[in-house]
Chain A
Amino acid sequence: MIQQIDYFAIAPPLTLALFAGLVLLLDAFLPARRGVKPALGIVTLGGVLVALGFVVAQAVAGAETLSTFCVPASLAEAGAAEQCSFVVDRFTLVLAGLVLVAAVVIVLMSMTELAEGDIPVGEWHFLLLCTLTGAVTLPASRDLIMLVVALELVSLPVFALTAMKRYDGRSSEAAVKLFLVSVVSTAVMLFGVSLLYGIAGTVHLSRLSAVVSGELPAPGWPQAATSIMDAGHGLPGIVTVGIVLVVAGFAFKIAAVPFHAWAADVYQGAPIPVAALLSVISKAAGFAGLILVLVVALPGQSSTWIPIVAIISALTMTAGNLLAMRQRSAVRLLAWSSVAQSGYILAPLAVAFGAESASGAVGASVAYLVIYAAMNLGAFAVVMLVSRTAARNELDDYRGLAFRSPVAALALAFCLICLAGLPPGLAGLFAKVVVFREIVEGEAGWLAVVMAVNTVIGLYYYVAWTARLFTPVRAAVPAVRRAFPAVWGAVGVALVVAVLFSVAPQLVLDLTS
């Protein structure tokens, strides 16, 4: 039979892929004139917006979930339901929307980055669109192979993007670090995936879930025809190993402890838009994959992964915050702070027992992720702006920014206070409240206390940075050089979204619950 493809369902990643090809062609055939650089940026932006339009259309049109690339029930084993590899549901739409809106900000930042320096423009936009294709596909993936492929599609172009500043040694170093870490994590994850496949005999998450929770017999388990749960000692060790390896693979991607060490060096070495991409889009993709694997595929084994996730979450937020306190460079500080924020996003998953609390936990994680994306991108956009005048981009370069460029300073101050979770940054405050609520309800008191202490540690460096913005400087400091105006668009988009979320956090909660 012929495979039926629902093109409307796959429209967003398809659009992005087509635009990627288009950008590469345009770059090859357009004459190298002045206007070409921004034109390519605008084409990329157009692609992102079209894809975003499709996501919105799907959200408006679809009361029910769209799915495609299915194994029909007639072809599957007897009694099995239809299994699909690509599913567009609420979760997919929210994460795809998040990725694409973040992409708008990052493309605007890229246009500023590319306006000077000699980074090859076509390649840059091509790679960026490839990453986005992966990041939009990933939350829709419902089988293990597709998950891994999409995740690789997110990661691989980022190495190249990181290395794009070929004349900068630190950039190459960052790219190699990222490459090695990423390859190792992929290998680890593939090993875990193969173990799970070996046991369950399926790559589809829905069927995997049924097998692992003992509803269906496990073909890979010696006592065939009995479910895993009946087998003497309960849980076969191999499943545990598989789960641990898969979680470890994703932990690399989201820079969770103990796989966090690469974050600061890579963020600092990469061009700033790429650092922003790593901290928001790549991280969102990592979390999407992690949530899919844990909550959709392995809910039956939650007693295995919940303690692991809880410990990783506690360690991640603590290590990230402690390391951030010692930083003098703005980008490194944001790198460690985003590690710490990963810990907060992870925390609700540590109480995801059972179906009902799992959906609440996923809602809380995604809500935090959405709000985090807005405030973090705002901070990165202003850092990008300041990097035009202060190449070293140290915290001391921000001294007195409020007097030189009040709008930038207020935007940065707002985003930092949001990240710290204090009023007037109500978005950050409510994001933390949502997470706290989930943890307290899930009776993980110790994790709540760890997170409470971490919030305070985090406040220290955010406030120290904010205070610098308003400290007067008498010495002559070069005024903010006129950056390519697109970066102001980036600041504006991120700031408007962050303010909107502060005034009406219900928007996010409606989306994610």
Chain B
Amino acid sequence: MTGWLPIALLAVPLLGAFLLLVVPAALRPVLPGYGLAVSGVTLALAAVLLATFDYGQTARPQSTVDLQWIPGLDLRFHLGVDGISLPLIVLTALLTFLCFAYLSWGDARRPGQLLHPGPEGARPRALVFTLLVLEVGMIGTFLALDLLLFFVFFEIVLVPMYFLIAIWGGEGRRAAAVKFILYTLLGSVVMLLGLLLIWAQTGTLDIVALGQAHGAGMSRAVQVLAFVAVGLGLAVKTPMWPLHTWLPDAHTQAPTVGSVLLAGVLLKMGTYGFARIAIPILPEGAAAVAPWLGALAVVGIIYGSLACLAQRDLKRMIAYSSVGHMGFVLLGFATLTTVGINGALFANVAHGLITGLLFFLAGSIKERYHTADIPSLGGGMLAKLPHLGAVLTFASIASLGLPGLAGFWGEMLALLGAFQPAEILPRALFLTFMAIGGLGAVLTAAYFLVMLSRVTHGVPAVPVATRAEPPDHLPAAGPGEHAAAGAEPGDRTVIATLRLPGDAATWETLDERPVDPIGEDHLTAEPEALDIQRYELVAWVPLIVLILLFGLWPKLLLSLTTPAVQSLLGALS
């Protein structure tokens, strides 16, 4: 009945990207609006999906499409939505739309808005194209109900994300992009081997049928092997400690929208794979590997938190906080209980919203201060940029898991799941995990509070570039107390504002030169252009509202996932 919806969800962004190739000239003048419109239509379709979804049967895939594509490979074009994938699809459509809103609301030439066309320009057409293709891959991954189709969509994401980092990224973008794509490809190739092993043993690639079989037809040894292979691939994407090392670089170098989508959606593809493939299809393998998974998850929580405490760069800190949060998600999966997996799925969505918001904020801060170095930011943001500081405080507190905000429930349920893990798992071990995980939650609070105290509180030390203070009048820094920390950013501000658009001499080769944030000079030209702008508000308010909504009314999400989780755990519970 609603089988056209999944196809339309993929077709709209794909067609949008395709039109950009076919009729570039016609679309060039309306580019910002175009991206916004295409992603808006996709979001509307996602909303229709949300409205037509049968909430009585969330465990069953709905709106399914099942077409033959490559019979020689048993590959079917099989799409569908259930309670696990629905929130993620809507989240993807929403975040992509918000990214476009952030990029193109208004005149699209403010800080961080890369869509301003120009001779030196940030290649707006390519950016819109890349983001739309990325959206196809992300939504497709959550829709796919065929192992190979899932893999294909999982891979589609790689190339656009690579270019997003490599073209619009910061100064070390080349290395970061290469690291990102090599790491994740290695993971996904290993995952492919696992998927093919499942296929070789059972003779089908249909995720629904395999999920209902609960591992029938595969010996325990095969299941363990397949789970390790598939799990490795997903763990790279998630990322799980110790496979996370691509993440901080990719996040730090990616442009704001890249970071948002990376943290908000791409990481979810890894965790979604655990819920969709690894655990339901390979229950015995999951049971055998779960203690290890839990142990690595807990190490990730602690490691991520400690690494955050040591970071000076705001974006890098948020990236490491993702490692910690994803540790909670993996711990939830490792418990193999309804509570734990529900918690994991909840934390998944919550992390997408909160970290998405945090990266938006970090991007905006970096655009304003021209650095994300926490000591260089120098504190006092609440006094200087009160609205931005307030939203940053809100997002940080949500991320550290304050009850009443979305970040709390997922972690709480994951820890609760560890308190009472599935019967086949050693309870004492998971109690230890729970205790360590709890400690991690405390550390999470610690680093966010430390960061807030350094960034939002205190006396403003660094003048922010405005026309009221022309560059040559910039006080280099407060001579006494802030000398060490303040001098550098002051200089940077001057350099940044004085740098001419075509000044390539400071970079070794031409393509080492980062794309100039368009509108940097506008920033200096407008005196009050500094606190939250309208386009930022448009992008952030929906996230803030959703964080509050899920925090106050978690049942909204949990009632969706619970039946689906119960059915996926069939053999274990």
What 1/0 flags go to A413-435 for Cβ under 8 Å of B? 00001000011101001100110
> Are A473 and B510 touching (Cβ within 8 A)?
yes
Picked from B71, B73, B156, the residue with its CB within 8 Å of the CB of A434 is B73
> Are A440 and B196 touching (Cβ within 8 A)?
yes
Q: Is A464 located at the chain interface by the 8 A CB criterion?
A: yes
Cα(A440)–Cα(B203), bound, Å? 13
Most chain B CB neighbours (cut-off 10 Å) among A422, A429, A440, A441 = A440
Give B496-525 interface residues, CB cut-off 8 Å to A.
504, 510-511
Cα(A81)–Cα(B199), bound, Å? 40
**Closest CB in chain B relative to A409 CB, distance in Å:** 12
> Are A422 and B152 touching (Cβ within 8 A)?
no
**Closest CB in chain B relative to A290 CB, distance in Å:** 23
Neighbouring B residues of A422 by C-beta, 8 Å = 155, 158-159, 185
Q: Is A452 located at the chain interface by the 8 A CB criterion?
A: yes
Neighbouring B residues of A433 by C-beta, 8 Å = 73, 148, 192, 196
Closest to A466 in B: B159
> Are A463 and B162 touching (Cβ within 8 A)?
yes
> Are A429 and B196 touching (Cβ within 8 A)?
no
> Are B200 and A436 touching (Cβ within 8 A)?
no
**Closest CB in chain B relative to A495 CB, distance in Å:** 14
**Closest CB in chain B relative to A468 CB, distance in Å:** 9
Q: Is B15 located at the chain interface by the 8 A CB criterion?
A: no
Closest to A458 in B: B185
- Are A505 and B73 CB-contacts (below 8 A) given A423-B159, A472-B511? yes
Cα(A72)–Cα(B137), bound, Å? 59
Neighbouring A residues of B193 by C-beta, 8 Å = 436, 440, 445, 448-449, 452
Cα(A472)–Cα(B167), bound, Å? 10
Picked from B71, B126, B152, B189, the residue with its CB within 8 Å of the CB of A455 is B189
Cα(A136)–Cα(B439), bound, Å? 71
Cα(A433)–Cα(B200), bound, Å? 13
> Are B196 and A437 touching (Cβ within 8 A)?
yes
> Are A513 and B72 touching (Cβ within 8 A)?
yes
Give B137-169 interface residues, CB cut-off 8 Å to A.
137, 148, 152, 155-156, 158-159, 162-163, 166-167
Q: Is A453 located at the chain interface by the 8 A CB criterion?
A: yes
Q: Is A509 located at the chain interface by the 8 A CB criterion?
A: yes
Number of interchain pairs (Cβ within 8 Å)? 95
Cα(A186)–Cα(B140), bound, Å? 51
Q: Is B99 located at the chain interface by the 8 A CB criterion?
A: no
Cα(A467)–Cα(B169), bound, Å? 14
Neighbouring B residues of A459 by C-beta, 8 Å = 181-182, 185
Q: Is A405 located at the chain interface by the 8 A CB criterion?
A: no
Neighbouring A residues of B196 by C-beta, 8 Å = 433, 436-437, 440-441
Q: Is B178 located at the chain interface by the 8 A CB criterion?
A: yes
Instruction: Tell me the count of chain A residues lying within 8 A, CB to CB, of chain B.
Output: 38
Q: Is A191 located at the chain interface by the 8 A CB criterion?
A: no
What 1/0 flags go to B42-84 for Cβ under 8 Å of A? 0000000000000000000000000001111100000000000
Neighbouring A residues of B192 by C-beta, 8 Å = 433, 436, 452
Q: Is A506 located at the chain interface by the 8 A CB criterion?
A: yes
> Are A455 and B511 touching (Cβ within 8 A)?
no
Q: Is A470 located at the chain interface by the 8 A CB criterion?
A: yes
Give A54-85 interface residues, CB cut-off 8 Å to B.
none
Q: Is A355 located at the chain interface by the 8 A CB criterion?
A: no
Neighbouring B residues of A424 by C-beta, 8 Å = 156, 159
Closest to A442 in B: B200
Neighbouring A residues of B137 by C-beta, 8 Å = 423
Neighbouring B residues of A510 by C-beta, 8 Å = 72
Cα(A437)–Cα(B504), bound, Å? 49
Neighbouring A residues of B186 by C-beta, 8 Å = 452-453, 456
Most chain B CB neighbours (cut-off 10 Å) among A448, A452, A453 = A452
Q: Is A460 located at the chain interface by the 8 A CB criterion?
A: yes
Picked from B126, B156, B177, B200, the residue with its CB within 8 Å of the CB of A440 is B200
**Closest CB in chain B relative to A425 CB, distance in Å:** 9
> Are B159 and A506 touching (Cβ within 8 A)?
no
Q: Is A482 located at the chain interface by the 8 A CB criterion?
A: no
Instruction: Tell me the count of chain B residues lying within 8 A, CB to CB, of chain A.
Output: 35
Neighbouring A residues of B158 by C-beta, 8 Å = 422-423
Neighbouring B residues of A423 by C-beta, 8 Å = 137, 152, 155-156, 158-159
Neighbouring A residues of B167 by C-beta, 8 Å = 470
> Are A452 and B190 touching (Cβ within 8 A)?
yes
**Closest CB in chain A relative to B194 CB, distance in Å:** 9
Neighbouring A residues of B504 by C-beta, 8 Å = 474
Closest to A426 in B: B152
**Closest CB in chain A relative to B128 CB, distance in Å:** 15
**Closest CB in chain B relative to A461 CB, distance in Å:** 11
Q: Is B98 located at the chain interface by the 8 A CB criterion?
A: no
**Closest CB in chain B relative to A89 CB, distance in Å:** 19
> Are A437 and B189 touching (Cβ within 8 A)?
no
> Are B197 and A505 touching (Cβ within 8 A)?
no
Most chain A CB neighbours (cut-off 10 Å) among B70, B155, B162 = B70
Cα(A388)–Cα(B200), bound, Å? 49
Q: Is A223 located at the chain interface by the 8 A CB criterion?
A: no
Cα(A429)–Cα(B71), bound, Å? 16
Q: Is A303 located at the chain interface by the 8 A CB criterion?
A: no
Cα(A464)–Cα(B182), bound, Å? 11
**Closest CB in chain A relative to B375 CB, distance in Å:** 34
> Are A455 and B159 touching (Cβ within 8 A)?
no
Neighbouring A residues of B174 by C-beta, 8 Å = 467
Cα(A504)–Cα(B70), bound, Å? 7
Neighbouring A residues of B182 by C-beta, 8 Å = 456, 459-460
Closest to A467 in B: B166
Cα(A373)–Cα(B72), bound, Å? 20
**Closest CB in chain B relative to A441 CB, distance in Å:** 5
Give B309-361 interface residues, CB cut-off 8 Å to A.
none
**Closest CB in chain B relative to A472 CB, distance in Å:** 7
Most chain A CB neighbours (cut-off 10 Å) among B72, B126, B197 = B72
What 1/0 flags go to B424-460 for Cβ under 8 Å of A? 0000000000000000000000000000000000000
Cα(A237)–Cα(B167), bound, Å? 60
> Are A456 and B185 touching (Cβ within 8 A)?
yes
Picked from B70, B71, B177, B510, the residue with its CB within 8 Å of the CB of A474 is B510
Cα(A68)–Cα(B73), bound, Å? 35
**Closest CB in chain A relative to B44 CB, distance in Å:** 26
- Are A429 and B159 CB-contacts (below 8 A) given A440-B200, A456-B182, A505-B70? no
Neighbouring B residues of A475 by C-beta, 8 Å = 510
**Closest CB in chain A relative to B196 CB, distance in Å:** 4
> Are A509 and B178 touching (Cβ within 8 A)?
no
Neighbouring B residues of A474 by C-beta, 8 Å = 504, 510
Neighbouring A residues of B148 by C-beta, 8 Å = 433
Closest to A367 in B: B72
Closest to A452 in B: B189
Cα(A510)–Cα(B73), bound, Å? 11
Cα(A422)–Cα(B163), bound, Å? 14
> Are B159 and A417 touching (Cβ within 8 A)?
yes
Cα(A449)–Cα(B225), bound, Å? 13
Cα(A452)–Cα(B152), bound, Å? 16
Give A450-496 interface residues, CB cut-off 8 Å to B.
452-453, 455-456, 459-460, 463-464, 467, 470-475
Closest to A448 in B: B193
Cα(A342)–Cα(B136), bound, Å? 33
Cα(A273)–Cα(B73), bound, Å? 34
Cα(A429)–Cα(B73), bound, Å? 12
Closest to A399 in B: B511
**Closest CB in chain A relative to B266 CB, distance in Å:** 15
> Are A429 and B152 touching (Cβ within 8 A)?
yes
Neighbouring B residues of A440 by C-beta, 8 Å = 193, 196-197, 199-200
Interface contacts beyond A471-B510, A506-B72: sample of 8 additional A-B pairs, CB < 8 Å, sorted by A: A423-B159, A429-B152, A433-B148, A452-B189, A455-B189, A456-B186, A467-B177, A470-B163
- Interface pairs A-B: 3 shortest CB-CB: A509-B72, A452-B189, A423-B156
Supply 22 A–B pairs (Cβ within 8 Å), ascending by A.
A399-B511, A423-B156, A426-B152, A430-B73, A433-B148, A434-B72, A436-B196, A440-B193, A440-B196, A440-B200, A448-B193, A452-B189, A453-B186, A456-B186, A463-B181, A467-B166, A467-B174, A470-B167, A472-B511, A474-B510, A506-B72, A509-B71
